[in-house]
Amino acid sequence: MKILVINAGSSSLKYQFMDSDTHEVFAKGLCERIGIDGRLTHKVPAKDQKFEAEIPMPTHGEAIQSVLDALTSPEHGVVKDVSEIDAVGHRVLHGGMAFTESCIIDDACIAAIEECIPLGPLHNPANLMGIRACQAIMPNTPQVAVFDTAFHMSMPEKAYTYAIPYEYYEKDKVRRYGFHGTSHRYVSARAIDMLGNPAHSKVITCHLGNGSSLAAVVDGKCVDTTMGLGPLAGFAMGTRSGDIDATIMEYLMGRYGYDIKEMLNILNKKSGVLGISGVSSDFRDLEAAAKEGNHRAQLALDVFEYQVRKFIGSYAAAMGGVDAIVFTAGVGENSASMRQNIVAGLEYMGVKMDPEANNVRGKETVISAADSKVKILLIPTDEELMIAQDTAELVKK
């Protein structure tokens, strides 16, 4: 089926139009500066074509219309008519406890996504704008919502429960949810395939990008993950702090008079490896600065690697072993040194890298040594493919 995958943010909208069976990507692109002025970048991989234009986009409606115009344009289009788009799959950040899997978008689904706005206040409203714009412009095309949280809903109670008064879970749904679920689901399924589809498997998936998280996956089901109620939790990221002692907030708010918004802005936007290094949130910049002897850039990399390694150890303990460790996303797919440093010292657990095999970028590869008990795998993530496949499956039912 021909599926249009939409990932709507508050002022941007990414799209990919693809075949869910052959995996061919017909076109993909990005609308930027929605609500400000508007800019479209549209690419057609088969023809190596790139089209860029300033297009007024006061709302997500104009953005979606510009995507459909590009997809059907005589010069750089890939279909003759919008009716050739079989269905639309939307990435939605927070599905709360309501969604354990993807769902066809109807009034009940929209109401449930709306109910999750307090849990995903930045993303869910933007995701809904994308959905509503598509519904208005393509009322006869089926739409599906695919949630970042859904894969993690199989976590057991002991993994998702915070040690705070239980009433906050019961009344306010405060619990660990986890994110990047579509990526963890895709790469863990690929890993199980690469392991030869054993009856039982224990996999740790490391999604290391600008935002990062790990998941522990037993027999294809998530049993733990590093992100929490929101995507600030876990280990140090590009600009996010990961887990910190909550006392730090009170201490700094008291010393500098920050309100909670300012404090959270520091933890979300000014922390992580950017905060430690003062150099950049981009791992390429950090690796370059560290090579030139910048101590804080090196420290930021050390902290990141150390925290990821600690979570790998804790997930091996949580699962009672591990068959495969998977690296994915921008850093995980591209930085051989980061992968090498993260698993360094895990030989006692049967984790042994093959440095030559590890010298690879963005290609599905076994990068562990032949005698490594635990397979180390590089698997490029493909969230768009997962969204397209979920969408096709639900629409065919």
How many alpha carbons lie under 13 Å from residue 203 in its C-beta half-sphere?
A: 31
Distance CA(113)–CA(245), nearest Å, equals: 31
Q: Is 329 in the site for ligand AMP (CB under 6 A)?
A: yes
228/332 with CB nearer ligand AMP: 332
Shortest gap between Cβ of 281 and ligand AMP (angstroms)? 6
What is the three-state SS of the chain? Answer: CEEEEEEECCCCEEEEEEECCCCCEEEEEEEECCCCCCEEEEEEHHHCEEEEEECCCCCHHHHHHHHHHHHHCCCCCCCCCHHHCCEEEEEECCCCCCCCCCEECCHHHHHHHHHCCCCCCCCHHHHHHHHHHHHHHCCCCCEEEEECCHHHHHCCHHHHCCCCCCHHHHHHCCCCCCCCHHHHHHHHHHHHHHCCCCCCCEEEEEEECCCEEEEEEECCEEEEECCCCCCCCCCCCCCCCCCCCCHHHHHHHHHHCCCHHHHHHHHHHCCHHHHHHCCCCCHHHHHHHHHCCCHHHHHHHHHHHHHHHHHHHHHHHHHCCCCEEEEEHHHHHHCHHHHHHHHCCCHHHCECECCCCCCCCCCCEECECCCCCEEEEECCCCHHHHHHHHHHHHHHC
Q: How far is the CB of 359 from ligand AMP (least distance, A)?
A: 12
Among 7, 66, 334, 372, binds ligand AMP (CB under 6 A): 334
Query: Of residues 205-224, which lie at the interface with ligand AMP (CB under 6 A)?
Result: 209-210
Distance (Å, whole) CA 144 – CA 131: 9
Work out which of 331, 342, 367, 392 binds ligand AMP, going by CB under 6 A.
331
The amino acid present at 284, given as its one-letter code, is R
Residues 267-286, interacting with ligand AMP (CB under 6 A): 282-284
Toward ligand AMP, which CB reaches closer, 211 or 228?
211
148 is catalytic: yes
> In Å, what is the CA distance from 273 to each residue of 126, 263, 276, 280, 327?
27, 17, 5, 7, 19
Output the smallest distance, CB 175 to ligand AMP, in A: 25
| Contact flag: residue 3 with ligand AMP (CB under 6 A) | no
Compute CA 290 distance to the chain's CA centroid, rounded to the nearest angstrom: 27
Segment interacting with ligand AMP (CB under 6 A) among 188-196, 226-234, 259-267, 325-333: 325-333
Q: How far is the CB of 287 from ligand AMP (least distance, A)?
A: 6
Question: Which residue's CB is nearer to ligand AMP, number 13 or number 68?
Answer: 13
Q: Measured from the CB atom, is 156 or 278 closer to ligand AMP?
A: 278
How far apart are the C-alpha atoms of 234 and 237, rounded to whole Å?
A: 9
Which listed residue (222, 330, 341, 395) binds ligand AMP by CB under 6 A? 330
Closest approach of Cβ 321 to ligand AMP, in Å?
Answer: 28
Candidates 79-87, 219-227, 253-261, 323-331 — which segment interacts with ligand AMP by CB under 6 A?
323-331
* Binding span for ligand AMP by CB under 6 A among 87-95, 162-170, 313-321, 328-336: 328-336
When CB distances to ligand AMP are compared, the closest residue is 330
- Does residue number 238 form part of the binding site for ligand AMP (CB under 6 A)? yes
Binding residues for ligand AMP, total number by CB under 6 A: 11
Which residue type sits at 345? G
- In the bound complex, what is the minimum distance in angstroms from residue 351's beta carbon to ligand AMP? 21
CB of 286 to ligand AMP, least distance (A): 8
Q: Between residues 79 and 299, which has the closer beta carbon with respect to ligand AMP?
A: 299
The span of 61-69, 100-108, 331-339, 350-358 binding ligand AMP (CB under 6 A) equals 331-339
Q: Which of these segments, 17-25, 29-37, 161-169, 330-338, binds ligand AMP (CB under 6 A)?
A: 330-338
Q: Output the six-digit token pair for 118.
A: 């307090």
Q: How far is the CB of 336 from ligand AMP (least distance, A)?
A: 8
Specify the stretch interacting with ligand AMP by CB under 6 A; choose among 32-40, 86-94, 189-197, 326-334: 326-334
Question: Which of 81, 106, 107, 148 is an active site residue?
Answer: 148
Strands 324-328 and 375-378: parallel
CB-wise, 178 or 238, nearer to ligand AMP?
A: 238
- Applying CB under 6 A, the residues found at the interface with ligand AMP are 209-210, 238, 282-284, 329-331, 334-335
Which residues does the annotation mark as catalytic?
A: 148
